[in-house]
Structure 1
C-alpha cells in the first residue's frame, strides 16, 4: 500500500521538501519559525498498513467531495484504543501530500496516553502559527484571537491539519480552518458527535477482517517461522481478534526470538486466554492493558461499573433489557449508559438495541470487574441476567408452543427487565438472536448451582431446538436439565426432564438410551399419579417404537395415551395421539382406518390452528396414500405438509417431509422432481448434522441419478 494519488484535488502540486520528522506533539525545526513558511509536521509514515482499503476510499471521497463543493473538508476518525487510528490517518496523509503543497500541520492533542492535562487549544494554535512563520511575540494569548489569526493565515492555502487523539469537540473547534482548500483530519477514541461544523464525515475503524489481520501479522513476523508452523500462525491471528495493536504486540514479541517456533508464543497467549497478560511487549504503549486503561480510567463511577459488569457477563452480545437486568437499574438509565459507552467506542451497536464489546476489550472489563467488584455484587448481577433470559425464554416458548403444560418459572429476583414479545414471529426472532446467549446463561447458572434456572432453561429451549433441528444441542441441554432436576430432588421436574431427554434421544436415533429415559419418566409420572405426564410419556414411547419399527408396541402406547388424554380433556393431545395411532394402522396394513383417523386429526388441528399438527397429519396422509398406491394424492399431501413446515420454520420436520416427497415422486416415475426434493432433504439434514439421514438420502440420489427424466 504505497504511492500517492495522481489526480490532485487542488490542481498540480508543487515540489515537496520533507522537514524534520515530528512525533508526539507540536515541533519546529532548528531554524527560526519565520524561516519555515511551509510546515511539514507529519510524523514518520507507518511502514505497514493492511486491511483498510475500504476506509481509505471513504476518507478520500469525503475530503475530495467537500473540496469540490468549496466547503471545509473535516473527517473524524474514531474507534477503540489499539485500532490503528493514528497509523491510518498518517498513511492517508502521506498518500495525499501532493494535494496539500502549502504544508501539513500535526498535533497530538493528548486525549490518551496518560498526558495530563490534554493539550490546550491555544497552545496548539501557538505551535501551528509559529510553524507558519508568525513570530511568537505576535501571537495573542487569547484562544479566540489566536483562532482567528490561524484561520486568516490559512486563507487560500492548501494545508492539511491532522489533530490526533482529540478528547472532545471543544478541544477541536478552535483549531478548525475556515474553509477549503484547507482540510482537517481528526482522530479520537470518542465519537465526536458534538462537533458542529458543516458536514463532518465520520470514519469509524473497526477490527480488521481475517485477510487484513493475516497481512499485517505476516508482514512483521519472520517468514520462515510462519511457513514452518502455519497452524500456530493462524492461532496467533485468532488470539488478536483483528485488533492492529494486538497484532503489533504479538509481532514484537515474536521478533525478540525470531528463531523460536511460533507455537511457543501461542502457548503463552493460550495460557492467558482469559486476561491480557500475554499482550505485553514492554513499552507502555505496547501493553494492551495500559492502552485500554487510558480509555477506562477516566470513566465516571456509574459508567465504569456498567463497563465492568458488561465485560463480566458471559454473553458476546447483549440486548438492553438484559443489560438493564445485569446492571440492576431502570431500562431508560441502562440505555443511556450503553449509549455513552458506545460514544466512547467501548461498545458497538451492530443492530438496534443490541450491544457488543470487542473480545479483548471485554477481557479488560472482566479483569477490572474481578479486581473492583465484590463477589457478592458480581453474583447478584449474574443472577439478574440469568433471570432476565429465563423470563424472556418463558414468554417466547409459550408463544411458539402454547400447548405446553402451564407451569410458571421460579420467582425472579428484583430489578429484572424482560424483553417484551408479542407473537410467534417476535418469539422466533428473539430465540434466533439470543440462542447462544441462553446456552451461555444456562452454563453460568449451572456453575453457580442455580438448579431451578438450569432446569427451566433446558425446558424452555426444547421447542426452539426441535423446530430448528438443533438435535445435539437438544440432547446436551436436556441432560443438564435431568442433572438439575435430580439436584432439586423434585419429582415433577425429574419426570419432565427425563421425558424431554428421552424425546431428544429419540430424535437423534439413540433408541436404547431414549427408551431407558422414557421408562424412568413414566415411572415418575405413575409415582405422582400424574395422568397428564403419563399421557405425554406414552405418546413419546409410541413415537420411539414407531421409528424403531415396533409398530404393535407403538399402537399399544398410542391407545393408552389417547385414553389418558380423553380423561384429562386434552383435545390437542388427543389429536396427536390419534395421528400416531393412525400411522401404526397404516404400517400394519389397515389403510382405510388409518385414512379416516388421520382426516379426523387434520380437521381437529385445523380447528385448533395448530400448524405443526396439520403438517404431521398431512405427512401421515401422504404416507398412507403411498402405501395404498394413491401416488398423486401422496404427492399432494406431502407437498402441503412441506409448505407448512417451511412457513412454520420447522426445519427438523421439513427435512423428513422433503425426503418423503422425494420417495413419492420416485414411485410416480418423476425422477427429475424426486432429485429436487431429495436435494432439499439432504441440504437440510447436512445443515442439521443429521449424518445418518444425510447418508441415506445421498444413497437414494445415487440410485436414481441415472434414471431418465419424465
Structure 2
C-alpha cells in the first residue's frame, strides 16, 4: 500500500474522530482532529498521474480537503477565534475564489475583529465576482450575513451560546440568548434597531437625523466611505467628504455611515446642517454652527464667546481627548467647514457638499453618482411595493431610466404614484416622456428636482450660469473642449476651465478625460432656463456649432479621404480652434464620438442662412458614415444636405447631393430610389454643364441598374462614365474612374465578356496604383480573379486574389470579405481544401452588421459553390437560401438568380421536389436580365 493510500486512511480516521467529538460536545477536540487531518496534505492529490479517472478521483479528494478546511474554520470561529483566521482564509480564497462558504467565514472573522468596513467590502467583492463569472447573486445565507452586519445584529456576537456542527453552518440562536447585552446597547429607533431616530448612545449626545427606513443600494459606496473613515488620520482629525449632484443621496449615505460608526465614537455623534444649498435660506455662518455645537456638548451659554476666533478656540479645546463623530451636511464651500474642524486626532469629520471642496487639505473625497439600474429597481420595489413593480416590470425600468437613476427623482416619482393610486406606472412614464413637462412631474409638495438643481445653478457666477445654459443646447451626448469653445465663443483653455468648474459643482459628469456630459434631468433643467431650442439664442448657438463642425470635419476628411474631390464651401476654418488631426486612428475616433451630435445638429434644421455649410457638413458626415457601414444614418445626412442645396438653387450642388443620396440608397438596397436620384442628378449636371458631376451620375446609374438586373442599361451607363473620364483630369477624379472601371468589369462578368472585364480591371488596377485610395486595388484584383475563374485560368486567379490579400491593410472589411470568399473558391479548385476552409471561416467571421446586404448575398453564393463541388449539397443549399433571403429583400436580381440556380442544383442532388421550381425561377430571371450562360457562376 503506497504512502498516499496510508495518508488517506489516516485522514479518514481523523475526520471520523472529529465528527464523534462534535457529537459529544467537544469542539476543541474536533478542531484538533481536523488540524491533524489537514496536515497530511502536502500537495495536489495524485500529482503527476494521468487519465480522466485519476483526475476525477483527485477532484473528489480535493473537495473533501476543502470541506475539512471549511469545517475547521467554522469550529475556530465557534471557539472564539477571529483575527487569527483572516490570513489563512484569504490564502484559501485566492485558490478558490467562488467558494461562498469560505467567503462567509472571512466576512464573519473580519466583522468580529472590528473590521466592519472590510467585511462589507468583501461581500461586495464576492457579489461582483459571482455576477460577472456565473451570472448569479450570492446565496441567501451569505446575503443574510451581510444584512445582519448592516444592522449590527446580535446574532453575530460572540459564539459562546451557539452549538457547533461539522456538518453544516451553526444554527443561529435567538438574539436574547446569543448576546443578552448586545440588544440593549444597540441604538433604538421607531420600530427598528436598523434605523435609529434621534437618540443618545451610551449617554453621549447624538443629534444625527433619522436614517431613511427604505434606504437601498449604495453598497459599494457605503463600503468605500466606511473604509476611508477607518484609515489612520495621522496628525489632525480624519476628514471624509462626500460630493455629488443635488438629489443623489449624499446626506442619506452620510447618515447611514454615521450610524454604522456610532459605537466607535462613544463621546457623541453631532450633526450640523450648513445650509449651503437650502431653499430660502442663507448658508450658515461658522460662528452660528459652533455656538450650537458647543451648547449641545453642554457648554453653558454664558461661557460661549461672541467672536469667531474665540469660538474656534473653545471648540477645539472642548474636543481635546474626546472621540466624536461630526457630520457637517450641505456645505457650500470650504470656508464653512475649515473653522469647524477639531484639532483632536480622535475625531472623525464627515462632510457632504455638491461641490468638491478642494481647500480641505488631507480630506478623502468620495464622489457619489447616480444609482446603478439594478439598485434603482430595488429602490422602486422598496418604496413603491414589490407587487406593484412586479405587475409592470418594463414600465418600472423605463421610469427609472426617465428619472436618470437619481434617488431624489425616483422618490418624487413614487410620491406621485402614491398620491394618485389610480395611476399606473405606465401612465406616469408616458407623462414623463414629454421632456417639456418632466421637471414639473418630478415634484411633491415643496420638494422637486428643479428646485434642487436651482440651488446649484444660483450658486454659480453669472459667467458660469450663461455657460451652463448654452451647453444645454449642445446636440451631442458629450461635449469636448473644442466644440464647447465654439459654442461659448471663447478660447479652448477658458472653455475647459468653465467645464471643470461645472464638473466640480456636479452639474456635469465626466466619463473620460476631456469629455463632459449632462445628466438627462440637468440638461432638461438647463434648457428650461432659456428660450429652449427654438429661441434666437439657440439658433445662434447652432450656427456657431455648424461652422465649427464643418471646419473640423473638413480637416478630418482631408486626412481620412485624401483622394476625394475638394470643394470650396466657405468653411470658416480659421474661426475656430480645431482638435489635432494628425493621426488617422485618432481622427477616426474623434469622428466616431462626434457623429451623433453632428447628425442631431443637421436634423434640427433652422440653418436657412447657411445652406452651403449644411451641405458641406452633410457631405463630410456621409463619408464617415459610409466608411463605418452606418447606411441609414448615411441616407439621413444626405437628405439634410439635399434640402439645403435645393433651397440655394445651385444646380451643381443639387447634383452632388443627389449623387450622395443615390449611393446611400444603393447601399441600403433601395435600387429604384438610387436610380431616381441618379437620373435627377444627371439632368442637373447636364443643365449646368458639369462634366465631372455628369460622369459621377452615370457611374451611379450603372451601379444601380446592375443591381436591378438591367445589365444592358448598366453596361451602357458605365461605359459612358468611363469614356467621360478619358478626357478629364484623371488625378482629380481617379477614385471615381477606378470605381467605374470596377463596375464595368463586374457588369462584363455578368454578360460573359471575360476578356473585356479583364481589360477594364487592368485599367482600374493601373489607376489605383498611381492614385491609391482605400480598397480600390483590392477590389480590382478580386474581380480580376473572378474573370480568370470564368476563363478557367485558376493559377492566374490564385495569383490575383493573393495580390488582393497582400493589400488588405488598405481595405475595409467590406472588400476583404469578398476577397476571402473568392480565395476560398480558387484554393478549392486547385485542390487545397484545408486552405479553402480556413479562408471561408475567416470570411464568415468578418461578416457583421456593417457588411452591406449586396456583399453578404454575393459572398454566400460564392462560398456555396465550393460545397456543391465537393458533394456537400445540404451546406450548399443552406448558403444559397441565405443569399436568396438577403437578395430578395432588396430585389438584387443578379444574386437572386445565382442563388436560385444553386438551390435548384443542390435540391436536385438531395431529391427535393422544389428543385424544378427553383430552376424555373432562375431561368426566368436570367432571361429577363439578358444574362447568357457564360455569365453564370459554375462549379
TM-score by length of 2: 0.67
- Residue 383 of structure 1 pairs with residue 549 of structure 2: no
SS where residue 568 of structure 1 aligns? coil
SS for the counterpart of 2:506 is: coil
SS at match of 2:241: strand
Give, in angstroms, the shift of residue 533 of structure 1. 0.7
State the match for 1:159 in structure 2.
324
Deviation digits for residues 616-639 of structure 1 (CA, Å, limit 9, x no counterpart): 223324433544556677577657
Deviation digits for residues 182-210 of structure 1 (CA, Å, limit 9, x no counterpart): 222211001112222x3x22111112221
Q: Please give the alpha-carbon distance, in whole angstroms, between the structure 1 residues aligned to 2:439 and 2:852.
A: 36
Q: Which residue of 1 aligns with 2:743?
A: 580
* Partner residue, 2:844: 679
Contact kept? 1:455, 1:485, Cα under 8 Å: yes
Contact 2:392 2:426 (C-alpha < 8 Å) held by counterparts: yes
Tell me the equivalent position of 1:276.
439
C-alpha spacing 1:435/1:302, structure 2 compared with 1 (3 Å): same
Greater relative contact order (Cα < 8 A, sep 6+): 1
Displacement of 1:480 = 2.6
Q: Tell me the secondary structure at the aligned position of residue 358 of structure 2.
A: coil
Matched, 1:324 2:496: no
- The 1:392–1:97 alpha-carbon spacing in structure 2 relative to 1, beyond 3 Å, is same
Would the alpha carbon gap of residues 322 and 547 (structure 1) be closer, same or farther in structure 2, given more than 3 Å must change? same
Contact kept? 2:198, 2:206, Cα under 8 Å: no
Q: How does 1:228-377 map to 2 (within 5 A)?
A: 228-273=391-436, 275-283=438-446, 286-370=447-531, 375-377=535-537
SS in 2 for 1:513: helix
Q: Is it true that 1:8 corresponds to 2:168 in the alignment?
A: no
Q: Secondary structure at 1:204's aligned position in 2?
A: strand
What is the deviation of 1:156?
A: 4.4
- Paired residues of 1:103 and 1:160 also in contact (CA < 8 A): yes
DSSP-derived class of the 2:531 partner: helix
Q: 1:201 matched to which residue of 2?
A: 364
Worse-matched range after superposition: 300-309 or 438-447: 438-447
- Specify whether residues 638 and 362 from structure 1 end up closer, same or farther in structure 2 by C-alpha distance, changes over 3 A only: farther
Assess, with a 3 A threshold, how the Cα gap between structure 1 residues 427 and 641 changes in structure 2: closer, same or farther: farther
Corresponding residue of 1:187: 352
Conserved 8 A contact 2:820-2:843:
yes
Distance 2:607 2:386 in 1: 44
1:493 pairs with 2:653: yes
Alpha-carbon distance between aligned partners in 1 of 2:601 and 2:305, rounded to the nearest angstrom: 61
Deviation by residue 1:364-410 (Cα, 9 ceiling, x = unmatched): 11000228x99333321221122211221222122221222221224
Q: Counterparts in 2 of 1:436-585, with a 5 A limit?
A: 436-446=596-606, 450-571=610-731, 572=734, 573-585=736-748
Deviation digits for residues 585-644 of structure 1 (CA, Å, limit 9, x no counterpart)? 444445456446545543542443423223322332443354455667757765775686
1:703 to 858, 868, 875: 875
Could you say what secondary structure the match of 1:96 adopts?
helix
1:289-344 C-alpha deviation (Å, 9 max, x unpaired):
11111111232221111111111333321122211221222333222222211111
**Structure 1 residue aligned with 2:232:** 66
Q: Residues of 2 paired with 1:403 and 1:357: CA distance?
A: 38
Cα 1:452–1:550 shift into 2, 3 Å: same
Does the CA contact (< 8 Å) of 2:268 and 2:325 recur in 1? yes
Structure 1 residue 17: Cα displacement: 6.4
* Counterpart residue number, 1:24: none
The CA deviation at 1:464 is 0.8
Cα distance, 1:141 vs. partner? 3.3
**Alpha-carbon distance, 1:107 to partner:** 0.9
Partner of 1:147: 312
> d(CA) in 2 for partners of 1:176 and 1:643?
70
Once the two structures are overlaid, the 10-residue window that deviates more, 399-408 or 139-148, is: 139-148
Q: Check 1:146–1:546 CA distance in 2 against 1; reply closer, same or farther (3 A cut).
A: same
Q: Distance in 2 between matches of 1:694 and 1:578?
A: 22
Across the two proteins, how many residue pairs are aligned to each other?
A: 687
Q: CA deviation at 1:468?
A: 0.5
CA–CA separation in structure 1 for the residues paired with 2:413 and 2:355: 26
- SS of residue paired to 2:618: helix
List alignment gaps of at least 5 residues for structure 1: 22-27
CA apart distance, 1:459: 1.2
| Cα distance per residue 1:46-100 (max 9 Å; x no partner) | 2233332222232222222335x67743222111111111111112222333333
Displacement, 1:662?
Answer: 5.7
Shift in alpha-carbon separation, 1:535–1:689, aligned structure 2, 3 A: closer
Change (3 A) 1:64 1:512: same
| 1:44 and 2:210 matched | yes
Question: Residue 268 of structure 1 aligns to a residue in which SS?
Answer: helix
Q: Is the 8 A contact 2:198 2:207 kept in 1?
A: no
Compute the displacement of 1:656 (Å): 4.7
Partner of 2:889: none
CA pair 653-10 structure 1, distance change in 2 beyond 3 A: closer
Deviation at 1:504, TM superposition (A): 1.1
Assess if the C-alpha contact under 8 Å between 1:113 and 1:294 holds in 2: yes
Instruction: Tell me the equivalent position of 1:173.
Output: 338
Closer, same or farther: CA 96–689 of 1 in aligned 2, 3 Å: farther
Change (3 A) 1:37 1:648: farther
Could you tell me the TM-score, scaled by structure 1's length? 0.87
Could you say which residue in structure 2 is the equivalent of 1:25? none
- Could you say if the C-alpha distance between residues 585 and 271 of structure 1 is closer, same or farther in structure 2, counting changes exceeding 3 Å? closer
Report if the CA contact (8 A) 1:10-1:181 is conserved: no
C-alpha distance in structure 2 between counterparts of 1:66 and 1:448, whole Å = 64
Counterpart position of 1:85: 250
Q: CA deviation at 1:551?
A: 4.5
Structure 1 Cα separation of the partners of residues 203 and 744 of structure 2? 95
**Matches for 1:573-612 after TM superposition, within 5 Å:** 573-591=736-754, 594-595=757-758, 598-599=761-762, 601-612=764-775
Aligned pair 1:55/2:221, yes or no?
Answer: yes
Q: Which SS does the other structure have where 1:106 is aligned?
A: strand
Matches within 5 A, 1:412-427: 412=572, 416-427=576-587
Corresponding position: 1:75 with 2:240? yes
Q: Given the superposition, is the C-alpha separation of residues 407 and 29 from structure 1 closer, same or farther in structure 2, using an over 3 Å criterion?
A: closer
In the alignment, the residues of structure 2 paired with residue 304 and residue 211 of structure 1 have an alpha-carbon distance, to the nearest angstrom, of 34
149-158 vs 291-300, which deviates more? 149-158
> Deviation at 1:288?
1.2
Q: Which residue of 1 aligns with 2:275?
A: 110
Matched, 1:613 2:805: no
Q: Is the 8 A contact 2:202 2:266 kept in 1?
A: no
- The counterpart of 1:95, out of the listed 240, 251, 260, is 260
Tell me by how many angstroms 1:178 deviates: 2.9
Q: Indicate the larger mover: 183-192 or 270-279.
A: 270-279
1: CA distance, partners of 2:246 / 2:417: 22
Asked if 1 retains the 8 angstrom alpha-carbon contact of 2:291 and 2:304, the reply is yes
Match of 1:277, SS state, is helix
Mean CA deviation greater in 5-14 or 91-100:
5-14
Q: Distance in 2 between matches of 1:114 and 1:477?
A: 46
